[in-house]
Structure 1
C-alpha cells in the first residue's frame, strides 16, 4: 500500500517581533483617534500571512489600507446617521435598521470577496465566488425557519452556512470542497448542553450544601462565567476541527488533531497572562495561539495541485489595478 504523503503547515512568527508591530499600531491608533486602524489591520495581517508557510512558500496579503479606511468611515457615518435619526423618529430609525439588515448578505459576500482576493499563495490569489441570490434565500428562509422552530434547526443552519461559505472559496481557478454532515453539528450542540450541566452542577451542589443568601448570587455569577468560558473555547475548537477535517482541495484532504486539553490550557494561560500584564501579553498570546493552530494543520496529498489566476491565466501575476479599485469600493471591515 502506498504511504500517504502528509504536508504540515508552519508558523514562524515570534512574540517579540509582533509585539513591536502591535505596540506601534496601538500607539498610532490612539494618536490618530482610530484613523490608523486600517493601516494597523493590514500590517498585522501581512505579518501573520508572511509567517504562515506551506511547502516552503509563505502566504501574502495585499489589501489597500485606504480601501478599508473608506469602508470604516462609511460604517461610522451610517451609525452616526442612525443615532441621529433615532433621536428624532423611532419609526424612521427602524426603517434605516431594516434597510441595513436587508443588505447584510450583500455586505458579507462583498467583504469575503475583498479580503480573500487580497490573500495570495505563490502569487495565486484566493477569491470568493458566491451566488448572491441563493445566499439571500438561505439567509432569510433560515431566519424564518429558526423562529418558527424555536432554533431547533440552528445546527442545520450552521451546516448550510458553512457549505455556502467554504464551497465558494477558491484559489486561482480551483474551488475548495466541504463535506460536513448535519448530525455532526447536532452532536456539538448536544455536547455543549452536556458540558454546561457538567461545569455548572458542582456549583449548584455547593450552593445547596454550603450556600447562604449572601453567597448565592456570587456562586451563580462565578458558575456562569466559568461555564460560558469553557463552552466558548469548546465551541470555537469543535467547529474549527469539524470544518478543517471535512475540507478538501483537488482531492487533497485537510486535517487537524488539536486536543481540547491543549487548546483549553493555552487559552487559560493566555487569559491569565493578559490580565496580570494589563494587556501587554496580548501579542504574545496571539502568536502562541496561531502557532498552535497552524502547526497542527496538515494536508494529505493525493493529487498534484496546479493553480492559475483565473483572470489572467498567469500564476505569477497579481491582481490588476482596476480590480483593486473595484474591490476597494467594498472594503468594509466587518470582521469576516
Structure 2
C-alpha cells in the first residue's frame, strides 16, 4: 500500500499516511505536535524554468538560453485572532487558584498567575496557532516576595512617619521607568507563538523620558500635554518589542492622540454646566445637590471607556510586524454593554461568574483584532533569549500599574 510522509514545516514532526485517504491538495492540516496550521502538499513542485535543462540544439547551433521564470507574487490575506476557551473550563482553574491562595495565605499566587495565563494564552489563537506562556512560578515567587517587602515597608512607613512614606513614594517614582522596562522584558520573553519567543529591547534613557520627565510636565500644562505623553509611551512600548528578530513598527502621529480628546472638550463642560444649572435652578431642594454627583457618575465611566477604547484601536491600527498590519475594531457601545452586564452578573452571583465575565470580554476583544499582510508569521527567525528576573513585573502588579499596550 503506497504511503506519503507528512512533515510539519515548523517543528519537523513527520507521520506516515495512506495516500488513498489523503485530503485534496492544499487542504489545511494541523500538526499534532506544535499545533501549527499549514497547507497539505502531496505533489512535487514544478521544476524551475530558469534552471531546467534547455532543449538540445541542432548540430552547429548554440543552445537557446532558458527563459527566466517570473516570480509569482504572494496574495495578501487576513490572519484572524480567536479565543477557544469557555467559562466552564476556566471556572475550574479559577476556583482552585482562589482556594489555594486562601489556604497558602497568598503564597500560591505565582502558580495561580502562571496557570491562568497559560490557559488564556493557550486558547488564544492567531491563524489557528496558539500562544504559550513559559514563565517559571519560582522566579515569580522571588519577585513577588521582594515586591511584597517593598509594599509592606511603604505601608508601615506611611503609618509611622510621613517623611518616610514620602521618601518611599519618591523612590518608587524614581524606579518606575525601570519597572516598566523590566516588566515588559519578562512578559514578552516568556510569551511564544509557533515556538518563537517575543522580546523587548531595553532603552532606559528613553523610558525615563516618557514615563517620568514628560509626565512631570503634565500638571504644569493643565493636562494639555497628556495626549502627547500617552503617544510617546505607546510608541516606546511598541517599537522596542519584537517577535523573534522582527521588530514591531509604530505608524501613528501625535496629532491622532490629541484628536481623541476633542469630544471631551464639549462633553465635560456640557456635563459640568448642566449640573450647575440644575443645582441653581432648584436651589434649596435637598435632591438638587445630588444632581451634579449623578451627572459626574454617568459621564465619567462613559468618558473613560471612550478614551480607553479609542486608544486601544488607534494603537493596534498603527502597529505592524514585518509585512503585516494589525486592525482593531472595538466599539464603545459593545464594551459598555459587556462591562455593564458583566458587573451585574458578578455582583448578583457573589463573584462566581467572574470567570464567565473574563472569558466573554477576551473573546470579544480577540474577535475584533486581525493582522493583514503577505504570508504568515512562521518564517520569522527566532532570537536567542536570556532569563530575566520577575521582580519588576510583580512590583508593578502589586501597585496596580497596567504595563500593556
1:41–1:195 CA distance, 2 compared to 1 (3 A): farther
Query: C-alpha distance in 2, partners of 1:30/1:225?
Result: 34
Aligned to 1:293: 365
Query: Which of 14, 17, 32 is the equivalent residue of 2:104?
Result: 32
1:143–1:256 CA distance, 2 compared to 1 (3 A): closer
Aligned to 1:215: 287
Query: Which of 228, 240, 251 is the equivalent residue of 2:300?
Result: 228
Query: C-alpha distance in 2, partners of 1:221/1:31?
Result: 41
1:2–1:108 CA distance, 2 compared to 1 (3 A): closer
> With structure 2 as the length reference, what TM-score do the two structures score?
0.74
Aligned to 1:334: 396
1:86–1:7 CA distance, 2 compared to 1 (3 A): closer
Aligned to 1:61: 133
Q: Which has the larger radius of gyration?
A: 2
Aligned to 1:315: none
Which stretch shifts more, 1-10 or 161-170? 1-10
Query: C-alpha distance in 2, partners of 1:191/1:105?
Result: 31
Matched, 1:307 2:369: no
Query: C-alpha distance in 1, partners of 2:335/2:292?
Result: 26
Do the aligned partners of 2:183 and 2:396 also contact (CA within 8 Å) in 1?
yes
Equivalent pairs, count? 325
Q: Which runs of 5+ in 2 are unaligned?
A: 1-72, 398-402
Matched, 1:46 2:108: no
Query: Which of 167, 172, 181 is the equivalent residue of 1:95?
Result: 167
Which stretch shifts more, 5-14 or 256-265? 256-265
Query: C-alpha distance in 2, partners of 1:11/1:56?
Result: 10
Query: C-alpha distance in 2, partners of 1:161/1:128?
Result: 14
Aligned to 2:244: 172
Decide which structure has greater helix share.
Answer: 1
Query: C-alpha distance in 1, partners of 2:270/2:323?
Result: 40
Query: Which of 318, 322, 325 is the equivalent residue of 1:250?
Result: 322
Do the aligned partners of 2:173 and 2:212 also contact (CA within 8 Å) in 1?
no
Query: C-alpha distance in 1, partners of 2:274/2:158?
Result: 46
Cα offsets for 1:264-294 (capped at 9, x unmatched): 2111211221222222221111111100010
Aligned to 2:44: none
> With structure 1 as the length reference, what TM-score do the two structures score?
0.88
Q: How large is the Cα RMSD of the aligned pairs?
A: 2.5
Structural mapping, 1:278-289, within 5 Å: 278-289=350-361
Structure of greater relative contact order (alpha carbons < 8 Å, 6+ residues apart): 1
Query: C-alpha distance in 2, partners of 1:203/1:228?
Result: 13
Matched, 1:15 2:77: no
Query: C-alpha distance in 1, partners of 2:269/2:160?
Result: 46
Do the aligned partners of 1:254 and 1:300 also contact (CA within 8 Å) in 2?
yes
1:290–1:211 CA distance, 2 compared to 1 (3 A): farther
Aligned to 1:182: 254
Do the aligned partners of 1:250 and 1:303 also contact (CA within 8 Å) in 2?
no
Aligned to 2:37: none
Query: Which of 189, 193, 196 is the equivalent residue of 1:117?
Result: 189
Q: 1:94 Cα shift?
A: 2.9
1:149–1:66 CA distance, 2 compared to 1 (3 A): same
Query: C-alpha distance in 2, partners of 1:35/1:6?
Result: 43
Q: 1:198 Cα shift?
A: 5.7
Query: What SS does the aligned partner of 2:111 have?
Result: helix
Q: 1:3 Cα shift?
A: 6.9
